[in-house]
Amino acid sequence: MSFEPKILGIACNWCTYTGADLAGTTRLQYPQNLRVVRVMCSSRINPSFIFRAFQLGADGVLVGGCHPGDCHYNTGNLYARRRLAVTKKILEFSGLESGRFRVEWISASEGNKFAEVVTEFTEQIKKLGPQIKFKISQ
């Protein structure tokens, strides 16, 4: 049986989640490995969510937000951009493959981009294989 990764998607309500909706209503095909959690803004994401997801067995984490400058709350994703950049560095410094965490800006009208990003990211995680470094062993 081929490896089917578990990917946590954290999507902003106003852009990426609506974009995912659009991808659905336009019947675009993308892999089913993504489990999406909706948050009100990408700056709502506590970095511990990401560490915790890896500990609980996620093979990859994809964060989606509005394009910088288009945030529903004006500045939320500008804070998130700095914060998530640090999260990425910390994961990298601790020795996790840096390809397992990805941040993408996807607007509500970019259903195509959403499908593309998910397809590409799933392929990438499949290549990296199961994530065992952070996972809590039972």
Partner 1 sequence: MVISFKQIEEKLKTEAKRLLGESQVSIVLAYGKGYDENHPMPYVARNPSDVDNIVFNEYCNYNLARYLVRYPAGTKIAVAVKAADSRAVIQLIQEEKVKREDLVLLGIPVYGMKNPKTHEIIDGKTTGGLYNPVLYDILLGDEVHGQAIQSPYDVLAAYESMDKEARFAFWKKEFDKCIRCYACRKACPMCYCDPCFIDQTKPKWGDKSPQSHGNLMYHLTRFHHLAGRCIDCGECSRACPVDIPLYLFHKKVAKACEEMFGQAAGMSIEDKPALVNFRVDDSDKFLE
Q: Is 72 in the site for partner 1 (CB under 8 A)?
A: no
Least distance from C-beta 78 to partner 1, angstroms? 4
Separation CA 73–CA 44 (nearest Å): 11
**Which sign does the torsion angle of CA 115, 117, 123, 125 carry?**
negative
If one counts every other C-beta atom within 10 angstroms of the C-beta of residue 40, the result is 13
* Spatial contact of 30 and 82, defined as CB atoms under 8 Å apart: no
Question: Is residue 97 near partner 1 by the rule CB under 8 A?
Answer: yes
Residues between 4 and 43 that touch partner 1 (CB under 8 A): none
Query: Which run of H or of E encompasses 39?
Result: strand 34-39
SS3 81: helix
By CB under 8 A, name the one of 13, 57, 79, 116 that touches partner 1: 79
Q: Which is nearer to partner 1, 97 or 120 (CB)?
A: 97
SS3 118: helix
Count of positions on this chain that bind partner 1 (CB under 8 A): 33
Given 28, 36, 96, 128, the residue binding partner 1 (CB under 8 A):
96
Which residues lie near partner 1 (CB under 8 A)? 47-48, 51-52, 55, 68-69, 75, 78-79, 81-90, 92-98, 102-103, 105, 133-134, 136
